[in-house]
Structure 1
Amino acid sequence: MYTEVPLTLPAPAKLNRMLHIVGRRQDGYHALQTIFQIIDLSDQLSFMPRNDGAIELTSQVDGVAHDDNLIVRAARLLQQATRTDKGALITLEKHLPMGGGLGGGSSNAATTLIGLNHLWQTGLSRTALAELGLGLGADVPVFIHGHSAWAEGVGEKLTPITLDTPWFVVIHPHVSVSTPAVFQDPELTRDSHAITMARALQGGAPEWRNDCEAIVRKRYPQIAEALDWLAQHAPSSRLTGTGACLFAAFDSQQAAQDVAKQAGQYWHSWVARGLNTSPLQDALGC
């Protein structure tokens, strides 16, 4: 039923270097402008093919039923789209926090689609996989394409870009954020002026901000406290996505490590390098 050696691949995190909400669509979703940057923090997924068509995720995620996990849903979606009779035994080594704004679930789904497309030899292009993945979440396509990107729409209209690659301190303040609650908050800014990609890439205030931050600060004082603390060390500190994680950029690994060590006295903290190409691309040699 199984091959001897599993295919093991990373599912990297992302940061929203900026996030503007420029409107609300008729379908209820919000129109966004954002800059995605891949970072070198990752979950790990291992895939072992099966010949009986079954999809089995051996690792349990707290609060998520097996069949609701995006990994399982992605695998079954690829089965249905390609009409393959192959299955997989999948193991998840979880490092990224759930509900942290790092895109962990979406990245897991993207790695599953790419990994099983490779393992099952189903032959879908990255574009086709991204179209499938969009049905699982707006962030899935950026992980499938695997490159830093300027994004519009609900986050699915992607233009590859090249960003600086600083060292980041990433902090998780031991709280889970409800993304739907943030986007439904009546006080959320929904009318930011749309800007061009060229202007956004110039960086700096006021272009690089997160329109969700004011609402998250109001709802989650733990996050507000962590943001205020990090801002003392780096004025560019901001939220990623709807949180709960926040981050700041540093010029050197040592400077980032010094701040992360201090932050670790209060919260979960990491040092991560900004990337322009996903380590998933490197792992598969494409």
Structure 2
Amino acid sequence: MTSLHDCPAPAKLNLFLHVVGRRADGYHLLQSVFQLIDRGDTLHFDLRGDGRVNRTTDVPGVPEESDLIVRALRRLADAYQERHGRAAPGIAVAVEKILPMGGGLGGGSSDAATALMAANHLWQAGFTDAELMDIGLPLGADIPFFIYGQTAFVEGVGEAMQPVEGPDCWYVVIEPGVSVPTPAIFTAEDLTRDTKPVRIADFPAAHLLNEFGKNDLQAVASRLFPPVGQAVEWLGEYGAARMTGSGACVFCAMPGEAEADQVLGQVPGNWRAWKARSLKRHPMKSLLQNNEL
């Protein structure tokens, strides 16, 4: 096999996000439930004969050398050489980007995770998911989750995961039109960092209306980027709306597609909005397992 095309890189939603402490090195300790949804970027991979890793498409605002995809693949190539005693085959990546940057949907991390899974398969590198997670973690705390590939109760800085039953529902997601830089949120003086820890058993199975917990980052993001708060307020008329990640996207669970369509029809024209269904498993895993790519 010399190529893998149409590889999915799905987005995630944080069904809640609590900041429960801070380590001595400055990293924040979090608790969250990460939920995959059926909307995301699409990646295409082709083996090269010269050992190089490169991106063949332009991603506005993301130079190739700083792209998480390229950085993750180069880390994998180093690990490949160390394990196999020879240089890794090269690989070219094309990206169809639809997820917004600074949206809290994990788009860049998801792209990197899909790239690691695809290259591991194409190169026949033989790394386990746990090893791929270790390769990706230094680049982004969300990368291990996407390799883990199922709804998860997440703790620590994002590296400790346990499977949890998530809701089977549709979501309406609003992009408020701003890009929220994560460091600006986590360095804010008014960020709450002492939420009482919860247990995985506290998270209600298949919780639909998303009334469990809160997003501790939402108040800060709404203050710094008012369109986030405006989207939360508007969407909150239809259910328990909240921001995902460090922002800026805002979501609300709906019991079915018809209800999601009804809300979408009311969204003000100055916002981009869309619907997505919850996923129980990363689609890339099924495609690789069944050799459907």
TM-score range, shorter chain: over 0.9
Q: How many residues align?
A: 283
* Structure 2 residue 106 is the aligned partner of structure 1 residue 108: no
Quick check: 76-85 or 38-47, which moved more?
76-85
TM-score, normalised by the number of residues in structure 1: 0.95
Contact 1:52/1:85, CA 8 A, preserved across alignment: no
- Secondary structure at the aligned position of 1:181 is classed as helix
Question: Percent of pairs identical after alignment?
Answer: 45
Which amino acid is 2:134 matched to?
Answer: E
Partner of residue 139, structure 1: 142
Aligned equivalents of 1:37, 1:282: Cα separation in 2? 17
C-alpha displacement of 1:253: 0.2
CA drift of 1:146 comes to: 0.5
Q: More displaced, 6-15 or 149-158?
A: 6-15
Matches within 5 A, 1:54-69: 54-69=52-67
In the TM superposition, what whole-angstrom CA distance separates every residue of 1:67-114 from its partner, at most 9, and x where no partner exists?
Answer: 110110011010001113311111000111111000000000000000
Name the TM-score, length of structure 2 as normaliser. Answer: 0.93
What do residues 175-229 of structure 1 show as CA deviations (whole Å, max 9, x unaligned)? 0101101000010000000111111336578742100011111111111111110
Matched residues in 1 for 2:156 and 2:275: separation?
A: 30
**Structure 2: any 5+ residue segments left out of the alignment?**
82-86
Distance 1:281 1:6 in 2: 13
Q: Does 1:279 align with 2:277?
A: no
Match of 2:230 among 225, 233, 243: 225
Q: Which runs of 5+ in 1 are unaligned?
A: none
Moved more, 201-210 or 66-75: 201-210
Aligned to 2:132: 129
**Counterpart of 1:76?**
74
Counterpart for residue 257 of structure 2: 253
Counterparts of 1:67-216 in structure 2, within 5 Å, are: 67-83=65-81, 84-201=87-204, 207-216=212-221
Using the alignment, how far apart are the partners of 1:141 and 1:227 within structure 2?
28
259-268 vs 246-255, greater mean Cα deviation? 259-268
Deviates more, 1:274-283 or 1:44-53: 274-283
SS at match of 1:113: helix
Q: RMSD between aligned alpha carbons?
A: 1.6
CA distance in 2, matches of 1:17, 1:6: 32
Q: CA deviation at 1:261?
A: 2.5
Structure 1 counterpart of 2:250, one-letter code: L
- 8 Å Cα contact 1:7/1:115 also seen in 2: no
